[in-house]
Structure 1
Amino acid sequence: MNEMLNGMYSKMNTSADACTNFYEYACGGWESKEEIPDDRSSWSSFGILSKSNKDVIEKLLASSKEGKANEYYHSCMDQNAINGRGVQPLLSLRDSLNLKFKPGSGCMTSDDYNTLAVDLAKLYKGAGVEGFFCFGVGADAKNSSSNIVGASQCGLSLDERDYYVDKDPHTDKTLLALREYIHSTFTKVEGKEPDATLADGIIDFETSLATIMMDKISLRDPQKTYNKMDSSQLEAKMPKFPLSLFLNKLYDGKPVNKVDVSTPEYFDKLSTLLEKTPKTTVYNFLSWKLFSAHMSHLDAASFAISFKFSQALSGVEKAPRREEICVGRTEGALPDHISRMFVDHKFSEGSKKFAEKMIENIRKAFIKNLDTITWMDKETKLAAKNKALKIKDKIAYPAKIHDDNFLTTHYQTIETDPEKYFENHMSAVKFSVKEECDKLGKPVDKEEWGMTSSTVNAYYDPSKNEIVFPAGILQLPFFQSDYHKAFNYGGIGVVMGHELTHGFDDQGAKYDETGNLKSWWKNSTMQRFEEKTSCLVNQYSEFTIAYNKGQEHVNGKLTLGENIADNGGFHLSYNAYKNDEGSNPDEKLSYSGQGFTAKQIFFLSFAQVWCAKSREAALHRQVMGDPHSPAFARVNGAVANSEIFDEAFDCQRQSNRKRCHVW
C-alpha cells in the first residue's frame, strides 16, 4: 500500500486547488520534476511506459542475431552498411518499378491517363505509395462480415487540409518547412539541385487537393462517409481516368464490382483538377511521394533531411536513438514476432484474468446505468443492452503469436539480409500491401488485431463490436494486480469503460450489435442524445492551449467521440468499483501524514494516467487534427461533470455548476 501511495503522492501538487484544477493537483508534482526528453515532442505516463516496453524489446533483439526479428533489427542497426549505399537503394527501387509516366508541359492525354493508372498501381503494390487517392480493402460497414474495396481522399504531405487552406505558402512557416524538405529531398536523391519552382508546384498541387477535400468534422460521420456504389459509377466521376484498368492492375484481375467511396465529391472535383494540371506537376508529385515515403530508411544524410522536417512540425530537438528507431521498424515489419517476444518475457497470465473480471464488472455497470437514463426510450435501451452484452473483449495478445508454424510461414517473404536493410524494409512494405489486397473476396477475419501486444493503448472496433486491450497497457501506472481496487479501477478501469463507451458515442452509436452501420435508435431518442452531446461540444471548446503568443481553442466537435468516451468510462468504472465485492469508497488510507479515501484514490489514479507535457508545436498539432483533447482537458472536463468527485474532494461550493451527462 505504501508503494502505491508513495508513487501517487510524488506526482501531486497538494498546494493546488483540487476543485478548480484537478489536473494540476494530481499531476503538478510530476510536471515540475519531469522534463520532455530532447528526442520527444511530448512526455507522458503513456510515453514513459511505452519507452519501458520498447527497452524490453530492444534488449531481446540486441542480445542475439538469430531469429527473423533479430536479423531484421540488426540489419537496421548496421549504419555503416546503410551509409555506404547512400541513396542508391531508392534509385534502384524506382528503376525496378518500371514507371512509364513522363513529365511534360501540357496536360494529360488519353494515353497519359492510361499510363498513370498503371503506374499508380505499381507504386502502391511495389512501394506502398499512394497518390492523390487511396484504395484499400476492409470491412463493409453495412455488411461487416464481408470485405469491400474502399476509396477515399488522400495525398497530402501534412496531417490534414487545414495546414494548406487559406495559408500563404510564401510566409506560412509550416509550408516553408515543407518546401525546404521537398527541395532538399530532390537535391539529395537526384544528385543535383532542382528547379526552384518544383517544390512550389508540388505544394500548390497539394493545396488544390486540400481545398476539395471533405473537412475533418464531416469525416467523423460514418453515415456521410458510407457511399457504396458500382465501380462503374465511381469511374464515371473521373471519366478520363481509367479506373477499371487501375483496379485490375492493383488487384491482379480480381473483379471489383462494388466500392465504398468515403468522399464522392472529392472524386468529382479531382477529375477537374487533374484535367488542368500539367504532366510535369503530376510527375514531380508522384516522385515526391515515392521519395518521401522511404527517405528516412536511407543513409544518415537522407534521414537527417527527413528528420529536420519532423522537427518543424513537432518541436523535437534531436532524433531518437538508432536502437529505438530500429525497434519500431522491426515491430512494424514483424508485429507478431515482437508480440511473442514481449508477452513471453514481460506479461503475467494472472493479469489477464484480473482484467477479464474488471471488464465484466464494467459491462454490468453500463447495463445497470441504462436504467437511470431518462432521455432514452425503453426499446432503444433494450437494444443498447443487447449490444453491450455482445461486445467481445480481446485481452493481452492473440493466440496465433504462440503458433511457431504461423510465425514461420506467414512472414516468409520478408527478407532479413544483414547487408541490405533497405531491401528488407521494402519486402516488409510489399508484404503488408499484399496482405491487405489479398483480403478482397474473403470474409473479414474477426480474430485479427489492430495493435501489437506491446502497445500502450486500447481501442474499440465498431465493425467487430469489440474492445481490445494489449498486454502493453496492463501495467503500472494503469494497472497492478496487488494494488488497491480503487487504483486499478481509476486507471485501467477507466480505459476499459472508455473503450466500451465508444460503442455508444456519436460514431459507435450508429453501429448495431453485429458491427453493421444501421439506425437502431428511435429518432426522438437520437435527437435527445445529440442534445446531450452538444453540451460536451460547448464545454470542451472552452479549453485553450497557448500557441504562437496567443491562445488556441480545443475543437469540441472534433474531440466529441473521445470526450463522450472519457466521461462515460470515468462514470462506469467508478460504479463498477463501487459495486465490486468488498469495495468501500469511503475507506481511509494514509501515507506520511496524508490521508486519502479510496474514492479519492480512484480519482487520483484516473488523473495521473494522463500526466503529460508537450512542446508548443506538438500541442498545436494535436489540437489541429487529433480527436483526443489535451491531457489537462481530459481530466478537468471529466471531473467537472461528476457530482461524486465534488463529494470526494469537498467541492460543494461548485455543486450548482452546469454539468454535461450522456452515459
Structure 2
Amino acid sequence: MDVGHENKGYDKKDVEQGDLDLNTARANQVKLSFKKDGPIKRRTKCEKALIFFLVIFILVVIALVVVVLVQKNKIDDDKSVKNDVTATKEPEICQTADCAQASARLIASMDLSVDPCEDFYEFSCGLWRKKTVIPEASSFYGTLSEAYDDIQVTNKYLLEDMTSYQGIPAITKAKDMYTSCVNVDRIEEKGSSVAIPLLEELGGWPILGTGPGGNWSENEFSLSKLLISLHQYNNFPVIGMFVGYDDRESNKNIIHLDQPSLGLPGRLYYLQENLSEMREAYVTFASSVAQLFGADQTASERDVQDILALETDIANISTSMEDRRDTTALYNKMSISELRENFTEPTSNDVIQFNWFEYLSGVFDLENVKIAINESEPVVIYDVAYYRKLFSVLQKHGKRTLANYIVWTIMQNRVGNLDSRFQDLKTEFSKVLSGTTTQEARWKTCVSYTETYFGMALGHMFVNETFDETARAEALEMIGNIRGTFNDELENIAWMDDATRTVAKEKADAVKEWIGYPSDILIPEKLNKLYENASIDGDEYFKNVLNNLKGVAAHSLRQLRKKFNKNEWTDPPSQVNAFYSAVRNTISKYRFLYSKFSI
C-alpha cells in the first residue's frame, strides 16, 4: 500500500494568485501567525507530538541497523569458522584405479529407477540380477562367485607355470596335483580300475558279486574294522567320529561322536513325500555307478533299494536341525567305559557285533597316528538319541545291506575322481538334485581341488603375484577404528554392569586380525614343513586323491594329544571370505590381497 499525504485546500498556485482566505486555511488546519515565536513554540501540539514520535522512530531504526550489522558480522565470522573446519575435515576422494573400478561395479549393479524406500534390494542389486545368468554348472551365483571366478583364473595361471618356484617342494606338489587332475586322457585310460584296490582293501563291495572289487564275505564282516578303514580315508558313515576342540575347555582337543552325514543333502530328503523324485534319482545314480563297476542291473537295483531303506531309518533316528540349536543340551561328556554302559553294545546273539573301545582304539592306531587310548579316555556325545537307537536299526537290516551302504558312502564321494562315464552319471543326478545342467570346466574343478589340499602352497604364489600391502594396512586400520568405536559405545550402554563391560572390552581388545595371509607361508622352509608328509605323483590322480584323504584324516586325529591351536590359520589366502571365529577370537578377511574393493 502506498502511503502519502494530499493537501486538498490549496497549492502553490493558489498562494501566488492571492486566492487564499481564512476559511480555506481553517479547513486545512493551518494556523496563521505573525508572532516571532521559537521553532518549537510555533508548532501545534499535534506537530510537536509527531516530531517526538519521529525522533523516537529514527532512534529505533538506528538501533536496529546497528543490531543487524553486528549480527551480520557474527554470522560471517561463524561461516568463516565453519568453512575452515569443513575444509580441514573434508574426506579425501579416492581416485585410484581400484576406487574407479569399485564405483563402476556398484553403479552398474544398481537400478536407480527404483525407489530405495520401496525396495532397497532391487535399488542396490536390480541391474546385476537382470544382466547376470547363473552358470549351467552352478546351482547359485552371487558377487562372491564372480570374485572367486577371477581368482581361479589367476590360480590356473600360477599352477600351469612350470618355470617358477621350482626350488620349493610344497609348490611342486601343488602343481603336480593340478597336473594329474587335468590329465583327462590318463584318467580315461585307467577308467574304474583305479578304484578296485580300494574296494578290495575294504573287504569288497557286496553289490559287485564275484566281479573285480566284489567277493565280499559275510563271515569275515566286521563293522568296527570297516569303519576304521573308511576313517583312514576321512569318511565317517554310521558313526560321525572326529577330533576337535572341547566346547567347555576350548584350549583342549577331545573325541566327538555325532550323527553322520547322509547320501542325500539332509534327513528330510528321505522322509518327505514331495521329494520322492530325488530319492528315485539317488537310487538310479547309485545302481548305475555299481553297474559301471560290473554289477548286475537287477541285483544292483535291488541292493540299492535296500541301501535306501537303511538310510531312511538312519534319517528317522537322526535329530532335526531345529532340535540341535541348543548346544548346551547337545553336549554330553563321558568316558569310553561310560559310553559302553550308556549305549548298550550288541550282544553275542546279535547278527552285527560292535565294540566301542575296539573301534576307537583302532582308529587311533592307524598309520601316521599311533595314539594309545584306554577306556578312561573322555568323549563328547552330541546326539544321545541317535546312538541309543542306532544298533537296533543296524540289526534290522543285516550285514550285507550295511556293508553295501558303508562302501557306497565312499564310492559316492569318489565318483568325481573317476572317468567321464562316472562324471556323466553325477551330472544327471545333479540335474534332479540341484538343477545344474552341465559339468564345470575341468580346469576349474582341478584348481578348486588343489586349493583345498594345497591352499597355503598355492597361496605363497598368489600372495607374491597379487598382494596389495596398502590394502592390508587399510583393512587393519578399519578394524582398529571399529574396535575403538565399539569400546566407546560400551561406556554408553546403560543395561550393562561394570563387570560385564570390563570383560567385553577385554574380549574386544584381544581380537586377532587375520588379514590376507599368515606370514609363515612366505618362508619356504616353513611352507615345506606343512606338506612334508604329502605324497603326490603327477601321473596318478586317483592315487593322489586317496593319499590326500589319508593325510587329512591322520592330521586331524593327531591333534588329540595337542593343545588346540587358536593361532593356526585354516583357510588359504585366495579364499573369498570374511568371518569371525568365536573359539579363536579372530576376525578373518581374505581377498583384500587381490583387490581391496572386490567385495
Name the TM tier (shorter chain): 0.7 to 0.9
2:92 corresponds in structure 1 to none
The offset of 1:285, in angstroms, is 0.3
2:364 corresponds in structure 1 to 251
C-alpha distance in structure 1 between counterparts of 2:231 and 2:105, whole Å: 49
C-alpha distance in structure 2 between counterparts of 1:235 and 1:113, whole Å: 24
The offset of 1:455, in angstroms, is 0.6
SS of the residue 2:257 aligns to? strand
C-alpha distance in structure 2 between counterparts of 1:135 and 1:391, whole Å: 31
C-alpha distance in structure 2 between counterparts of 1:178 and 1:430, whole Å: 27
Decide which of 60, 68, 72 is 2:177's aligned counterpart.
Answer: 72
Q: Does 1:136 align with 2:242?
A: yes
| Residues 238, 270 of structure 1: 8 Å contact kept | no
Q: TM-score, normalised by structure 1?
A: 0.67
Which blocks of at least 5 consecutive residues in structure 2 are unaligned? Answer: 1-94, 167-171, 210-217, 347-353, 366-370
C-alpha distance in structure 1 between counterparts of 2:405 and 2:255, whole Å: 25
Decide which of 261, 277, 283 is 1:173's aligned counterpart.
Answer: 277
Residues 101 and 117 (structure 1 numbering): CA distance in 2 closer, same or farther, change over 3 Å? farther
The offset of 1:316, in angstroms, is 1.6
C-alpha distance in structure 2 between counterparts of 1:200 and 1:101, whole Å: 14
Q: Percent identity?
A: 27
- Higher alpha-carbon Rg: 2
Decide which of 289, 293, 303 is 1:185's aligned counterpart.
Answer: 289
SS of the residue 2:252 aligns to? strand
Which aligned pairs between 1:402-481 and structure 2 lie closer than 5 A? Answer: 402-470=522-590, 472-473=591-592, 476=595, 479-480=596-597
Q: Does 1:262 align with 2:386?
A: no
SS of the residue 1:43 aligns to? coil
The offset of 1:216, in angstroms, is 1.0
SS of the residue 2:587 aligns to? strand
CA deviations on 1:257-287 (whole Å, 9 max, x unpaired) are 0011111111111122122222121011012
| Residues 58, 327 of structure 1: 8 Å contact kept | yes
SS of the residue 2:515 aligns to? strand
1:515 corresponds in structure 2 to none
Tell me which amino acid in the other structure corresponds to 1:387.
K
Q: Does 1:122 align with 2:229?
A: yes
2:121 corresponds in structure 1 to 23
CA RMSD of aligned residues (A): 2.5
| Residues 161, 213 of structure 1: 8 Å contact kept | yes
Which aligned pairs between 1:511-590 and structure 2 lie closer than 5 A? Answer: none
CA deviations on 1:195-215 (whole Å, 9 max, x unpaired) are 422222111211111111122
| Residues 101, 116 of structure 1: 8 Å contact kept | no
Count of aligned positions: 470
C-alpha distance in structure 1 between counterparts of 2:129 and 2:140, whole Å: 12
The offset of 1:63, in angstroms, is 2.0
C-alpha distance in structure 2 between counterparts of 1:112 and 1:381, whole Å: 64
| Residues 251, 563 of structure 2: 8 Å contact kept | yes
| Residues 317, 389 of structure 2: 8 Å contact kept | yes
1:207 corresponds in structure 2 to 312
1:159 corresponds in structure 2 to 265
Decide which of 32, 46, 51 is 2:130's aligned counterpart.
Answer: 32
The offset of 1:331, in angstroms, is 1.3
| Residues 134, 153 of structure 1: 8 Å contact kept | yes
Decide which of 154, 161, 166 is 1:63's aligned counterpart.
Answer: 161
Residues 326 and 238 (structure 1 numbering): CA distance in 2 closer, same or farther, change over 3 Å? farther
CA deviations on 1:21-41 (whole Å, 9 max, x unpaired) are 111001111111121222222
| Residues 333, 429 of structure 1: 8 Å contact kept | no
Tell me which amino acid in the other structure corresponds to 1:365.
T
Q: TM-score, normalised by structure 2?
A: 0.74
C-alpha distance in structure 2 between counterparts of 1:46 and 1:383, whole Å: 35
SS of the residue 2:111 aligns to? coil
C-alpha distance in structure 2 between counterparts of 1:328 and 1:103, whole Å: 32
C-alpha distance in structure 2 between counterparts of 1:398 and 1:46, whole Å: 22
SS of the residue 1:381 aligns to? helix
Tell me which amino acid in the other structure corresponds to 1:460.
Y
| Residues 69, 338 of structure 1: 8 Å contact kept | yes
Which blocks of at least 5 consecutive residues in structure 1 are unaligned? Answer: 105-110, 481-490, 492-608, 610-663
The offset of 1:191, in angstroms, is 4.5
C-alpha distance in structure 2 between counterparts of 1:45 and 1:302, whole Å: 31
1:398 corresponds in structure 2 to 518
2:398 corresponds in structure 1 to 278
| Residues 99, 119 of structure 1: 8 Å contact kept | no
Residues 233 and 57 (structure 1 numbering): CA distance in 2 closer, same or farther, change over 3 Å? same
1:334 corresponds in structure 2 to 454
CA deviations on 1:232-258 (whole Å, 9 max, x unpaired) are 222331412201001111001521500
Tell me which amino acid in the other structure corresponds to 1:141.
D
C-alpha distance in structure 2 between counterparts of 1:114 and 1:86, whole Å: 28
CA deviations on 1:284-329 (whole Å, 9 max, x unpaired) are 1012112112111011111221232223222122111111111111
Decide which of 109, 113, 122 is 1:11's aligned counterpart.
Answer: 109
